[in-house]
Amino acid sequence: MKKFLTFLMVATMLVSMFALTVSAEQTNMDVNIPRFAKQPTIDGCVTTEEWGDVTVKMVTEGAATVDDEEVGYNEALGLRNTFYYFAVEGICDTLAYDMWIRWDDNFLYVAAIVEDPDPFSLPKGGAEIWNGDCIQIRVDEKGPSAIMLGADPNFNYKTDAYSGNRFKKPWSNDKEVFNAIMGMVKGDTPTFWRCGKNYDDGWNLVKDGALVGVNLVQKDDGTCTITYEGAIPWAAVNATLIPKAGDVYGMGVAVACSDSNEINGCLQWGSGIMFADEQPRGTRGGSQAIILTADEVTPADGYEVATEAPEETTEETDAPVVTTKKPAGENDGSDATTKPTTKPTVTGTGFGSGDEGSSAWIWIVVGVAAAVVVAVVVIVIVKKKKN
C-alpha cells in the first residue's frame, strides 16, 4: 500500500507539473517608462528632442488579424500582443505609428505620430468620437491583465499566459478602468473624451485637468499624418493613486483609421480595446505592462517643428499641406456632458464577464483526470497481484 501511495503521489505531481507548464508563458510585452524631469509643451507637436526615444514602433506586419489563432508577434521590432482589425482588406495595411509613454508625479503622458494611409475623418465628438480617426487609451492601476487575478490570485503576467479563451477583455473592472479617446474633431478641435461606464455617458477629460494637443497634416496623395499628445491626470486613473518608480500598470492603446464616419481599421497595442468581440480568442494576449522607472527625460527648451505650409514655388513638390494646429482649451467642440460629481475609481473584480472555457482550467481538469486514471490502474494491478 505504501508503494502504491508513493507511486500515486509522484504520478499526480508529474501530471500537475505538465498542466502548469503548458500555460506558463508570457503573452504580453512590458516596457520601461522613464520620468519627465519637467513637463513638456502639450501642443500636438512631438519630437525626440522633447520626448526622447520612441517607446513603441507599431506596424501591421506581424500583428494578429481576425484570421489568426495566435498572439501577434514582430521579432524585428520587439512587438508582442498586437492586433490589426480591418473592415475592408487593403485600405489600412500600411497604418503605422510611433508612440511615447512618460510619467511624472501629476500625469501619465502619451504621444503618438500616426501615418494614416487614407484621408482624415472625424466628423463628430463626444460619445461618437471613436467613429473616425482617433487614439484610444486604457490604463489599469491594478496591473497587467488584472482580470486574471480574480481567477488566480497568484497570476504573474511574466510567467503565466493570459486566458484569451475565458476573457475577452483584460481589465480588472471593464466599466471603471480608465478609458479615454483623443481626436481632432472636424479637423480643427483637439478633444480628449473620457468614456463613462458606457460610451454614451462620458465627459470632456480636460475638465478633469487633462491636457491635449493634436496636429493634422493632410497630404496631396490622400494620406495624412496625425500627431496626438496628451497628459492624463493620475487622479483620473484612480482618485487616490500616487505613482512611484517601480509601479506596474496594465495598458492598451488602439489607433483607428477612417475616411468617413466609420472605422476602416485599427491597430492595437494590447488586446480588449477596440473590436474585442471580433478578436479571435487565441490572439488575445491581455493588456501590456508599463513599468515606471526613475530614469529621466528632460524636454529641450527649444526645438524646430513644421507648423506651416511651405512657401509657393514654381518647382513641383510633394510637400504636405499642413493645417493650423489649435491647442485645446476648455471647449472641446463636442456635445460633452457635465462631468459627474463623483469621480470613478478602479475597483477589484472576481471572475468578471468573458468567454466560457479556459485553457488553464482545461489543463487542470486534464491533469486531475489523468491522476485518477493512473490511480485506478494501479488499484486494479494491486488487486490482481493479491488474488
Torsion angle, CA of 364/366/368/374, rounded to 10 degrees?
-150
> What pLDDT shows up at residue 201?
82
> What pLDDT shows up at residue 361?
43
> What pLDDT shows up at residue 305?
54
Q: Which residues pair with 257 in a beta bridge?
A: 265
Class of domain 28-356: mainly beta
Encode pLDDT of 361-375 as tens digits: 444 445 556 565 555
> What pLDDT shows up at residue 387?
52
> What pLDDT shows up at residue 184?
97
Q: All 3 cell numbers of residue 138? A: 486604457
Q: Which residues pair with 267 in a beta bridge?
A: 84, 255
Instruction: Give CA separation, 56 vs 42, 45, 101, 196, 352, in Å.
Output: 20, 18, 9, 28, 30
- Show contacts of 68-76: CB within 8 Å, 24+ apart: 68/280, 68/282, 68/283, 69/280, 69/282, 69/283, 70/282, 70/283, 71/27, 71/164, 71/282, 71/283, 71/284, 71/285, 72/283, 72/285
Q: Which residue has the higher pLDDT, 327 or 280?
A: 280
> What pLDDT shows up at residue 78?
96
Q: Which residue has the higher pLDDT, 361 or 184?
A: 184
Encode pLDDT of 115-165 as tens digits: 999 999 999 999 999 899 999 999 999 999 999 999 899 999 999 999 999
Q: All 3 cell numbers of residue 313? A: 514655388
Check pLDDT > 70 for residue 243.
Answer: yes
Q: 213: closest CA among 179, 190, 187, 239?
A: 190
Could you tell me if 332 and 204 are in contact, meaning their C-beta atoms sit under 8 angstroms apart? yes
3-state secondary structure 286-306: CCEEEEEEEEEECCCCCCCCC
> What pLDDT shows up at residue 251?
99
Q: 172: closest CA among 340, 293, 361, 345?
A: 345
> What pLDDT shows up at residue 384?
56
| CA–CA separation, 237 and 140 (whole Å) | 8
> What pLDDT shows up at residue 383?
57
Burial class (CB in 10 A: 0-12, 13-18, 19+), 160: buried
Angle at the Cα of 79 from the Cα atoms of 262 and 47, rounded to 5 degrees: 75
Encode pLDDT of 37-60 as tens digits: 999 999 999 999 999 999 999 999
> What pLDDT shows up at residue 369?
61
| CA–CA separation, 176 and 238 (whole Å) | 10
| CA–CA separation, 11 and 141 (whole Å) | 41
Q: 229: closest CA among 240, 242, 213?
A: 213
| CA–CA separation, 12 and 352 (whole Å) | 31
> What pLDDT shows up at residue 196?
86
Encode pLDDT of 81-122 as tens digits: 999 999 888 899 999 999 999 999 999 999 999 999 999 999
Q: How far is CA 223 from the centre of its chain?
A: 25
Calculate the average pLDDT of the chain: 80
Check pLDDT > 60 for residue 221.
Answer: yes
Pairing of strands 248-257, 265-269: antiparallel
Instruction: Give the mean model confidence (pLDDT) for residues 273-289.
Output: 95
Q: Which residues pair with 266 in a beta bridge?
A: 85, 256
Could you tell me if 183 and 134 are in contact, meaning their C-beta atoms sit under 8 angstroms apart? yes
Check pLDDT > 50 for residue 338.
Answer: no
> What pLDDT shows up at residue 94?
97
Instruction: Give the mean model confidence (pLDDT) for residues 289-312.
Output: 74
Residue 217 — very low, low, confident or very high, per pLDDT cuts 50/70/90? very high
Give the lowest-confidence range in 1-5, 75-79, 105-109, 154-158.
1-5
Determine what percent of the chain is predicted with pLDDT higher than 90.
Answer: 66
Query: How is the chain split among helix, strand and coil, in percent rounded to 5?
Result: 20, 30, 55
> What pLDDT shows up at residue 323?
35
Angle at the Cα of 243 from the Cα atoms of 239 and 248, rounded to 5 degrees: 110
| CA–CA separation, 361 and 167 (whole Å) | 13
Domain ranges of the chain: 28-356
Match 500500500 to its residue by C-alpha cell. 1
> What pLDDT shows up at residue 1?
52
